[in-house]
Structure 1
């Protein structure tokens, strides 16, 4: 476990467990959901990286460059490949100081037939933290990709999520996107959604323009979540009855590699050999 700190803020990261965040607090109050001591399941932690693809690939199968790729199903009995490799791998510490940490993950070509390097740089700021997730294609051929970050926030009776979004993708029973509809079909993020009053949500919202504002009246905190311009998608996960919810910046929608719409709609992009791309997430916190 590595602890970073600056001012009122402390951040714990577990390099061996997906390079995940395990604690983020302001003056002892949880900015991200509390994690049980000794927890090793990345899905029970505060946040983890989505690299080299975000969310789901249907059946783990996609076509690219005239070839069909078949990826392992990596999430129990779930029928789709989920969240890439980084969240299930150890990361190596490259740079460490009191308020900054760089972690690196190297992937050799396998079923995902591209070698790549991923880096996470955590930087503490006066009002919170910044996470930069970078992907570099080390293969000699173009690589499809999407990036994301998967933060979990405490859910209290008054917890509210507000974000400027234009549309929302409905999803089937396995949470693959089906139809693009108006943003307010399930929840109203534009007006501000009280999470405890939401139905089950595991959907991607389009046309996101930050910040996403998370208000936590019971904790006396307001959180502003912003991301770099290449993240026009905000994936919301609000399981009914849970003590958490997620607001996930991503560069593409789920199953983007298999969609017939244009890359401008899906977010599916291609990284040239030797090229790199980054997604930056900033979390700023103030006391109410």
Structure 2
């Protein structure tokens, strides 16, 4: 594959040593900014000058270097691995803690590294990351070799993101993936989606028990999300979520391929975002072999897996 980055695509917003260059995709009134040098993240998504992401800087994620990002990839697993350690096929592995204040490892390691720009056209781009555990530090991030490819395609009213993971190791490895978007959210915004169960967390922010996604846990009917706190993984997700802004006359929809059977929802009081995160695996999936639908995929050497997530802006002004 050949890098085809045009000079006109670079530096469309103020670059800096923290986040590096910004590649902007453009189509009609739609704009998508990408940060290949900051974990293959998304800088912004705008339609008709409306910002649909609320970029966040998280001091607990040191690899993001204090820069604000609108979304970032979760690979080769989503959310946490409890105690930053696990066993697989009879071998024990320990990981480096990468989240300040927790003993867990979080969100894989793709977000911690520079991605290669394989292709960048006016309205599409391909980013690639190869992980090779060649030394102790890299092996502590993830002990298996893999390749991840993010393919972005911009539309007039949204964008598609395809995530592909290839096992480049000589042995099988467990894989999960997803994306962590910070959707801009007003005080009156409502979130809706259908799911079968939700995992309640223990004191370590790890899943403790699954309960039906009913009553206070149900988002089948639109619910205001601002002002509350939630950081939970929903299982049996139907693959569609909607964040509606009734007072502003629009909604953002997320439609994901069936491989994404889990949805993590994260919101905290006083913040202008809600993170609605499609993922293949439940949180801490590697430690739950008893859960049939945990969403952890074991890839043989050379095997690949992929899925597409579609973000759209819908005008609701009538």
With normalisation by structure 2, the TM-score equals: 0.85
Question: Is 1:122 the equivalent of 2:146?
Answer: no
Out of 31, 37, 48, which is 2:52 matched to? Answer: 31
Paired residue secondary structure (2:45): strand
Partner residue of 2:87?
A: 63
Q: Which residue number corresponds to residue 160 of structure 1? A: 190
8 A contact 1:186–1:201 mirrored in 2: no
Select the residue among 154, 158, 176 that pairs with 2:206: 176
The structure in which a higher percent of residues are strand is 1
Q: What is the rounded CA distance, in whole Å, between the counterparts of 2:244 and 2:93 in structure 1?
A: 42
Ranges in structure 2 where 5+ consecutive residues have no aligned partner: 1-21, 58-63, 134-138
Structure 1 residue 220: deviation in Å? 3.0
Check conservation: 2:148, 2:166, Cα contact below 8 A.
yes
Range moving further from structure 2, 40-49 or 22-31? 40-49
Structure 1 residue 133: deviation in Å? 1.0
Distance 1:34 1:66 in 2: 41
* Alignment of 1:204 onto 2:245: no
CA contact (8 A) 2:198 2:217 kept: no
Q: TM-score, normalised by structure 1?
A: 0.94
2:123 to 89, 92, 99: 99
> Are 2:266 and 2:276, in contact at CA under 8 Å, matched by a contact in 1?
yes
- State the match for 1:279 in structure 2: 307
CA displacement at 1:33 relative to structure 2: 1.4
Contact 2:245 2:251 in 1 (8 A): yes
1:132-180, CA deviations, whole angstroms, 9 ceiling, x for partnerless residues?
A: 1111111111010111100011121111110011110000122100010
CA RMSD, Structure 1 to Structure 2 (Å) = 1.6
Matched with 2:18 is none
Superimposed CA distance per residue, residues 209-260 of structure 1 (whole angstroms, 9 cap, x where no aligned partner): 1320110234432111011110111110011221111110000101000114
Cα distance between partner residues in 2 of 1:34 and 1:57: 25
* Contact map agreement 2:148 2:163 (CA 8 A) in 1: yes
Match for 1:78 among 90, 102, 108? 102
Aligned length: 283
- 1:224 partnered with 2:272: no
C-alpha change, 1:47 and 1:254, in structure 2 (3 Å) is same
Question: Unaligned regions of 5+ residues in structure 1, if any?
Answer: none
Cα deviation, residue 35, structure 1: 6.1
Match of 2:35 in 1: 14
Partner of 1:265: 293
